[in-house]
Amino acid sequence: MTEIVWHGRGGQGAFTAARLLGAAYTMRGDDRYALAFPSFGPERRGAPIRAFTKLDNKPIGDRSEVEKGDYSIFLDDTLFAEAAFSELKPEGKILLNTKRSPADSRVIAIDGDTLAAEVLKLPITNTIMLGTFAAIFRDITLAEIVEAIRQYMPEKLHKKNIAAVTAAAETAAREARR
């Protein structure tokens, strides 16, 4: 099972990204299962929230929050701290939206804010980080992410968010080739 923990603030769309990823993963025929859920409780704009996506090739019985993930994705680097590493599996990776360049090899840094400003004209990075994840994680395609956006986001958001995941995936692929 691959377990992903999303970190964001209320209103940044972390759970939307978690849900789109689960929908995208399960799109390809049988033997693909996903659960997606937010950290439960009162919702407040701006407050730290987490969301979870679990992906597997068999039905997933464990509905509890992920304690140690394969990936931690931070939409906002003000939420990132040293404690993030204790929430990772040994081979786990952190995808961090930041303008800084963290030295730790477990951290993959993306300047999502700049991409979001260019593509979305808004400081919202959920689909930017989703596109980045699609480029890094072998078992999902950008086409599946795009299809999930078409099926599960309101129509008026399709164009910009498809552009966002595509731009992010291209950027991540370019970085990886360097």
Partner 1 sequence: MAKKFLSGNEAFAEGIRLARPQVISAYPITPQTIVVERLSEMVEDGSLQSEFIHVESEHSALSCAMGASAVGARAFTATSSQGLLYMAECLTYASGGRFPIVMMNANRSTALPWNIYGDQRDSLSQLDCGWIQAYAENAQESLDLALMSYFVAEHPEVSTPFMANLDGFVLTHTYEMVDVPTPDQADAFLPAYQTENKLDLEHPRNLAFSAGPDHNTAFKYKEHLGLLNAQKAVAEAEARFVEIFGRQYTGLTENYRTADADYILITLGSIAGLARETVDRLRKQGERVGLLRLRYMRPFPGAEIAEAVKHAKAVAVLEKDISFGNEGTVYTNVNSALLKAGLSMPSSNYIGGLGGKNISQTEIEGIFRDLKQETVRIQFLGIGGEDE
Distance CA 98, CA 81 (A): 13
Q: Measure CA of the first residue to CA of the last residue in the chain; give whole Å.
A: 30
Q: How far is the CB of 6 from partner 1 (least distance, A)?
A: 13
Q: How far is the CB of 40 from partner 1 (least distance, A)?
A: 4
Number of residues lying near partner 1 (CB under 8 A): 24
Dihedrals phi, psi of 98, to nearest 5 degrees:
-160, 160
Q: Which of 12, 137, 16 is nearest to 78 (CA)?
A: 12
Q: How far is the CB of 42 from partner 1 (least distance, A)?
A: 8
Q: How far is the CB of 100 from partner 1 (least distance, A)?
A: 33
Beta partners for 55?
Answer: 2, 34
Binding mask 106-145 for partner 1 (x = CB under 8 A): ----------------------------------------
Work out the burial of residue 159: count CB atoms within 10 Å of its CB; fewer than 13 is exposed, 13-18 middle, 19 or more buried. exposed
Distance CA 125, CA 73 (A): 11
Q: Which is nearer to partner 1, 23 or 110 (CB)?
A: 23
Please report whether residue 152 would count as binding partner 1 according to CB under 8 A.
yes
Tokens linked to 105: 């090899």
Beta partners for 56?
Answer: 33
Pick out residues in 9-68 that bind partner 1 (CB under 8 A).
19, 22-23, 26-27, 33-38, 40-42, 59-65
Q: How far is the CB of 134 from partner 1 (least distance, A)?
A: 16
Q: State the residues that interact with partner 1 by CB under 8 A.
A: 19, 22-23, 26-27, 33-38, 40-42, 59-65, 148, 151-152
